[in-house]
Structure 1
Amino acid sequence: MGLFDQILGAVANPNQQGSMSQLGGIINAVQQMSGNAGTDSSTMQAIMSIVGGQVRSALQNKQANEGSDAVQNIVSQFAGTSPNPNAVSSLFSAGMQQQVAQMASQRTGVDANMIQQMLPMIVPVVLNFLQSGASTAGGGNSVLSTFLDSDGDGDVDIADAMRMASQYMGR
């Protein structure tokens, strides 16, 4: 089952934290970021995809070194739609933040400094998307598990899931 299917399942399941209002908040936050950065939606989706891939790598590394609970704690603590520099620093060192911004800049043409300034907004939004699969009673998170257990074939992409959510909601 794909990431978007997991997200829709979480929205439909009253025992998981996902909701239509959460998806709407995420989509609104991404649209606002796009407007603030002066980029079109496809450029913002590309940035989200690149940063989302780096978030996945950082979370996979954290899971390997500290366990699944540490990863879920980061998602729970930093998921949101408001800028949070602590969310970024919980996943990326200062040098890694520059590398992520540089990589996104090279692939999209958006200034690396602008992308680095956007990271405190992008990372919480990605984590918010992942939070949708968390159980309301504590325990597992199907969306986070799908995101982290990717076999690296490119099927799990946060930007694709956001685009599908936006289409699903008619935005």
Structure 2
Amino acid sequence: MSLFFDVLSSINNPNQQGSIDQLSSVMTSVQDLASSQGLNSDQVGSLLNAVGGALQPTLKQQASTFGAGQLEGMLGKLSGAGGAAALTSAIPLQMQQQLIQAVAQKSGLNAGMIQTMLPKLLPVALGLLGMGAAKPGAPSGGNPLLGAFLNAGSPSTTDLGTLMTFASRFLNPPQ
């Protein structure tokens, strides 16, 4: 849940890119991807939790290789319309294969399905983490949301499925 509070902080901080519209867009992308694959909400939550758990060490390794600033730049391209080339520059094919296997094992979903969804799934997850990036022209102190994700001490901090559950409740409060 602490990662969700970091998302809310990025929305409330005028120097960071996070917005309610961006969070809503991420949620819509997740829902569209889930419905295109015939996944129910439990499967989506399990999938996103597995993605978060597998993505964190991958991004941590990339941050140590390239530096946090360059990683943030690559992730910014990937969360936009960078496509397959941006995905490969941020996460090389060998790492993508490891990610697919880890997500398949943790989520219980077919590795082929994960591989098909990866080009859409990763930009969604990274777009969410990119909400903590500094707005253009704002003083940059790094991306605290990405930093919290990379330096997570417990698996619950990388729980993107739980984060999406709270985001859905935030965006659609009970009447």
Q: What TM-score does the superposition give when structure 1 sets the normalisation length?
A: 0.88
Does 2:142 match 1:143?
Answer: no
Measured after TM superposition, the shift of residue 86 of structure 1 is 2.9
CA distance in 2, matches of 1:54, 1:122: 13
Q: What pairs with 1:117-128 in structure 2 (closer than 5 Å)?
A: 117-128=116-127
Q: 1:45 to 1:86 in 2, by over 3 A?
A: farther
Quote how far apart the aligned CAs of 1:54 are: 2.2
Which letter maps to 1:89?
A: T
List alignment gaps of at least 5 residues for structure 1: none
* Greater mean deviation of Cα atoms: 84-93 or 47-56: 84-93
The partner residue of 1:164 within 163, 166, 170 is: 166
Structure 1 partner of 2:156: 155
Alignment of structure 1 residues 27-106 onto 2, 5 Å? 27-80=27-80, 84-106=83-105
Alignment deviations for residues 94-125 of structure 1 (CA, whole Å, 9 cap, x no partner): 34333332333333342211110100001101
Larger helix fraction of residues: 2
Q: Which runs of 5+ in 2 are unaligned?
A: none
* Residue 70 of structure 1: how far off its partner (Å): 1.5
CA contact (8 A) 1:63 1:71 kept: yes
Query: 1:131·1:143 contact (CA, 8 Å) conserved in 2?
Result: yes
Q: Aligned pair 1:21/2:21, yes or no?
A: yes
State the one-letter code of the partner of 1:20: I
Give the match's secondary structure for 2:39: coil
Change (3 A) 1:83 1:27: farther
SS of residue matched to 2:134: coil
Check conservation: 1:58, 1:91, Cα contact below 8 A.
no
CA 1:160 to 1:70, structure 2 compared with 1: closer, same or farther past 3 Å?
A: same
Partner of 2:4: 4
Count of aligned pairs between the two proteins: 169
Identity of aligned residues (%): 33
1:40-62 alpha-carbon deviations (Å, 9 max, x no partner): 02212211221222222121111
The separation in 1 between residues aligned to 2:28 and 2:93, in whole angstroms, is 28
Alignment root-mean-square deviation, CA: 2.0
Letter in structure 2 aligned against 1:165: A
Greater mean deviation of Cα atoms: 128-137 or 17-26: 128-137
CA distance 1:65–1:106, shift in 2 (3 Å)? closer
Superposed displacement of residue 83, structure 1 = 8.4
Whole-Å separation in 2 of the counterparts to 1:107 and 1:56: 14
Structure 1, 64-73 or 25-34: larger mean CA deviation = 64-73
1:113 and 2:112 matched: yes
